[in-house]
């Protein structure tokens, strides 16, 4: 399996875990700016985490590929 496939599967499973974690664990934690805390974690925090992780991992992959081509 290629490195990019492993990265995409890891990011997908981590996003699913973080998305489910919010409503299951943070359900009774109250509100922030009128919305439940689990909403902020699952619908805002988890996608931002995945996007930042993807950017970091793709940067590392590009650096590794450029070293291999030299």
pLDDT digits (tens, 9 = 90+) for 18-70: 888 888 887 788 888 888 888 888 888 888 988 898 888 888 877 887 887 76
Residue 3 in this model has a pLDDT that exceeds 80: no
Specify the pLDDT at position 55.
87
The pLDDT-based confidence of 17 (bands split at 50, 70, 90) is: confident
Q: Are strands 31-32 and 35-36 parallel, antiparallel or unpaired?
A: antiparallel
Tell me, what DSSP letter sits at residue 32? Answer: E
Specify the pLDDT at position 22.
81
> How much of the chain is in helix, strand and coil states, percent to nearest 5?
80, 5, 15
Specify the pLDDT at position 54.
85
């Amino acid at each position: 399996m290629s490195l990019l496939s492993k990265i995409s599967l890891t990011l997908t499973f981590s996003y699913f875990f973080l998305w489910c974690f919010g409503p299951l664990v943070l359900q009774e934690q109250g509100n922030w700016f009128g919305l439940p805390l689990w909403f902020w974690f699952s619908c805002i925090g988890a996608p931002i985490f995945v996007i930042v992780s993807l950017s970091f991992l793709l940067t590392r992959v590009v650096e590794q590929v450029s070293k291999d081509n030299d």
